[in-house]
Each structure stands twice: as C-alpha cells, then as structure tokens.
Amino acid sequence: MDRTDEEQVEALKRWWREYGTSVVAGVVLGLVALFGTKAWFDYQEGQAEAASARYERLTTLLARGDAQLAVDLGDLLIEEHAGSSYATLAALSLARHFVDAGKPEEARSRLQWAVAHAATSGLGRVARLRLARLLLDSGDYAAALETLEKVPEGSPFEALYAEARGDIHRARGDAAAAREAYRAALAATGAGAGNRFLIRLKLDDLAAAEAESPS
C-alpha cells in the first residue's frame, strides 16, 4: 500500500470515528420510521375494515328489527371508532331509529354527538339539518335556528338549510322571516330540482295564511 492509499485509509478511519455512529443511528431511525409507518397504516386499515363491518351489521340489524342489538352495536361503533365516517353514520342511523321509535331525546343525543364529532363537513351538515328538524318538532325554535350554521353559497346544503329556516320561522309565527328564507331556498334550488314545487307551495300557503289573517 503506498502512502496515498495509507492516507486515504486513515482519512476514512477518522471520518468513521467522527460520523460513523451518527450514520448508523440515522439508518436505524430510518428503518424504524419506515416499518413504524407501515405498522401504523396497517393498523388504520384494520380499524377501517372493522368499523365498516360493524356498520354493515348495524344496518342489517335495524332492517331486521333487532333494535336493542342494533343500538348496542351502534354505540360500540361510536365509542371505538369515533374518528371514522362509520361512527358518524352509525349515530345518524341510530337517531333515525329513535325518531321512528318515538324516543326524541335518544335521537337528539346521537345527533348532537354526530354534530360534534362528524368525520367530514358533509356528514356534519347532514347531522345539523336533522337535529334542527328534531328541535323544530319539539318546539325548541331558538335552538333549531342556532343549529343551522351558515353554509357557503353554492353548497349542496344551501337550499336545504334555507328551507329549514323558513319552516322554523313559520312555526314561530314570523311570516316575514319565513318568506325571506323560502325565497332564498328557491333561489338556491336548481331549475329541475324536485323540491322547487314544495318550496313554492310553502310560499303560497304562507301568502294565503297572511291574506286570511285579520289586519
């Protein structure tokens, strides 16, 4: 080995003494991160599959009329998969079941959970709309209006929310506010939408009621 080779070897040894440990540590950390990330994704995938299976089972139980089993399973899904869309869907499904069963307070608690924990903004707005309708039916008009947050212009929920506001204002006896809300709903509804007729009918009924009332 000539002097140049010896110098290169010595330089390599010095570099290894100075940086070798850091290099090994970096490689180890990289491997841990790689396999740790894979394990995390595998876990998340397994959780999603479990939530999906439970939700499918829930819908089957509800359709079959096994109410108590459905409620137990739905509440378990909500508890163990709270961050998933399936948990929000389970809460919405249970709320509908309780409405049909004449248990509005049980329905209300599931809808309030869905509003607070919805996995997506779309599911959250569905939950808000259903909760507002439930509050309207119970006569809690102020809470119903408060539940209906403002939605962006052009949102698929714009017309539905405006129509619901109209229904609430009409129920509380505020014809002017109801008319304004129904007109907003009509403006946000597509020309070919099936509910345009219903909104127009509500406006006509409102006008007829005002005409019949003593001045």
List the chain pLDDT tens, one digit each, 215 residues.
Answer: 555 666 666 666 665 566 666 666 566 566 555 555 555 454 455 667 888 999 999 999 999 999 999 999 999 999 999 989 999 999 999 999 999 999 999 999 999 999 999 989 999 999 999 999 999 999 999 999 999 988 877 788 999 999 999 999 999 999 999 999 999 999 998 766 778 889 999 999 888 877 766 65
Distance CA 166, CA 178 (A): 4
pLDDT on residue 209: 77
CA-based nearest residue to 167, from 141, 190, 147: 141
pLDDT on residue 3: 55
pLDDT on residue 175: 94
pLDDT on residue 40: 42
